[in-house]
């Protein structure tokens, strides 16, 4: 680069350069040849914004440095004219919010507002649940920048007439340790101090609840109302990515007897009941999740045709098969990610095959199956093979109704396979 820039500078290998040119925003530890401090500085601080250049000195982008992670730099821009002030981050927030309004419409009242690399905020996700934002920060760079980004987010929403009572941080994921970050959770205090937020300034003598309100809220999705416990629920409190897949299940559920496995807080089960199912049994290993699912059913006056079971699905399905239980003609399999690394992909494949095989053995001819995987390591082709092998072993043939993916508020960025993670299939057993 000919112009002297006020940022640290990382020179990377040809392999790293090639990956960036193909669209991926990550530079790995082994791809960094050298790291030079900014002009006049003695060292490079962890979490800093650094320029990334080729071995010839050509500018490739700027990103966030993570000293403790194998992903050493995550790009935030490829434009050398960008300056990383508050206006830069507010502009990126505005682009992300404009996109959600366009693709989600009225459903933007409960949606993912920022989706990490897919929106240029690597290591940060923010979900909106009506009047609450819930954030998960997983990179040291975003941790340093959140005092600038979060107020900008509140400001963008306020300018659109949206009142947010608080932003809650769910920074209790174990993966934060890979970045050298502590696990924490609680309200972001800066939300109450920012002029764009309608809250009164924090009074240190007041408990957080007196300022921000309860750590639950209600949302409406596909005509179903949910209470979201964003303090105790998994991840940010509710899985928004299956929104339209749940609606697809509801459209097939009328008059059917549905078994919803790994129900979490009852979302697929409630959509099936709302869609006119004759009977629904919602199953999850977590007593807390089952209690929340039951509460959501009561909230929608659907509990009269629903049962809730706290059980391990891997135990329950064989038990139903052994009992020759043919109660259900529609089974939904929405398990958590069975693998979070390539090292355990074979074990995960066995788990996916097992539950699909068991479900197919339970279903009558003409029955329906919804099955999915939310691990990006289990790519679509491999998941297809797993389901196909399960069908062969179960002695059934599958007629595919539909193949789906995550809702568009979780956009897939081409060149970044990590953003393409949710596989969802609807089948009829024939």
Of 111, 261, 372, 374, the active-site residue reads: 374
CA distance 174 to 197: 30
CA distance 412 to 426: 21
**C-beta of residue 12 within 8 angstroms of C-beta of residue 51:** no
Give the burial class of 15: count Cβ atoms within 10 A of its Cβ; 0-12 exposed, 13-18 middle, 19 or more buried: exposed
Cα distances (Å, whole numbers) of residue 191 to 108, 137, 149, 218, 384 = 21, 16, 11, 20, 44
The backbone torsions φ and ψ at residue 237, rounded to the nearest 5 degrees and listed phi first, read: 115, -20
374 catalytic residue (yes or no): yes
Would you say how long the chain is, in residues?
430
Contacts of 363 (CB under 8 A, 6+ apart): 328, 329, 330, 331, 369, 396, 429
Tokens representing 286 are: 């977590």
Nearest to 80 by CA among 109, 57, 99: 57
Tokens representing 377 are: 């390591």
Task: Give the residue numbers annotated as catalytic, written as ranges.
Answer: 374
């Amino acid at each position: 680069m000919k112009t002297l820039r006020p940022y640290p500078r990382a020179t990377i290998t040809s392999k790293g350069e090639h990956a960036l040119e193909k669209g991926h925003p990550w530079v790995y530890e082994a791809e960094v040849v050298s790291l030079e401090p900014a002009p006049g500085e003695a060292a490079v601080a962890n979490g800093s914004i650094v320029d990334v250049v080729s071995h010839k000195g050509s500018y490739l982008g700027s990103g966030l440095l993570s000293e403790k992670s194998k992903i050493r730099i995550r790009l935030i821009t490829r434009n050398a004219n960008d300056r990383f002030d508050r206006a830069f981050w507010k502009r990126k927030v505005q682009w992300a919010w404009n996109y959600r309004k366009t693709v989600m419409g009225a459903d933007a009242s409960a949606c993912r507002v920022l989706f990490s690399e897919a929106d240029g905020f690597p290591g940060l996700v923010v979900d909106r649940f009506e009047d609450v934002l819930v954030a998960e920060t997983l990179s040291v760079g975003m941790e340093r920048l959140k005092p600038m980004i979060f107020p900008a987010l509140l400001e963008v929403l306020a300018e659109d007439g949206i009142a947010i009572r608080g932003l809650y941080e769910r920074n209790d994921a174990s993966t934060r340790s890979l970045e050298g970050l502590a696990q924490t959770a609680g309200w972001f205090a800066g939300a109450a101090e920012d002029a764009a937020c309608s809250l009164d300034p924090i009074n240190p003598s007041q408990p957080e609840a007196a300022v921000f309100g309860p750590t639950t809220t209600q949302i409406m999705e596909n005509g179903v109302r949910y209470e979201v416990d964003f303090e105790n629920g998994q991840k940010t409190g509710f899985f928004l990515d299956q929104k339209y897949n749940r609606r697809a299940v509801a459209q097939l559920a009328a008059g059917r007897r549905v078994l919803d496995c790994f129900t979490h807080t009852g979302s697929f089960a409630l959509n099936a009941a709302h869609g006119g199912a004759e009977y629904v049994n919602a199953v999850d290993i977590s007593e807390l999740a089952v209690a929340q699912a039951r509460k959501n059913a009561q909230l929608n006056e659907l509990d009269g045709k629903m049962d809730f079971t706290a059980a391990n699905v891997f135990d329950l399905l064989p038990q139903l098969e052994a009992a020759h239980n043919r109660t259900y003609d529609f089974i939904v399999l929405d398990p958590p990610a069975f693998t979070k690394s390539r090292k355990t992909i074979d074990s995960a494949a066995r788990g996916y095959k097992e539950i699909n095989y068991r479900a197919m053995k339970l279903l009558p001819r003409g029955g329906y199956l919804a099955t999915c995987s939310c691990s990006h390591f289990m790519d679509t082709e491999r998941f297809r093979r797993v389901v196909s092998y399960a069908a062969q072993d179960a002695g059934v043939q599958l007629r595919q109704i539909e193949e789906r993916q995550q809702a568009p508020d979780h956009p897939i960025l081409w060149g970044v396979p990590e953003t393409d993670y949710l596989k969802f299939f609807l089948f009829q057993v024939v």
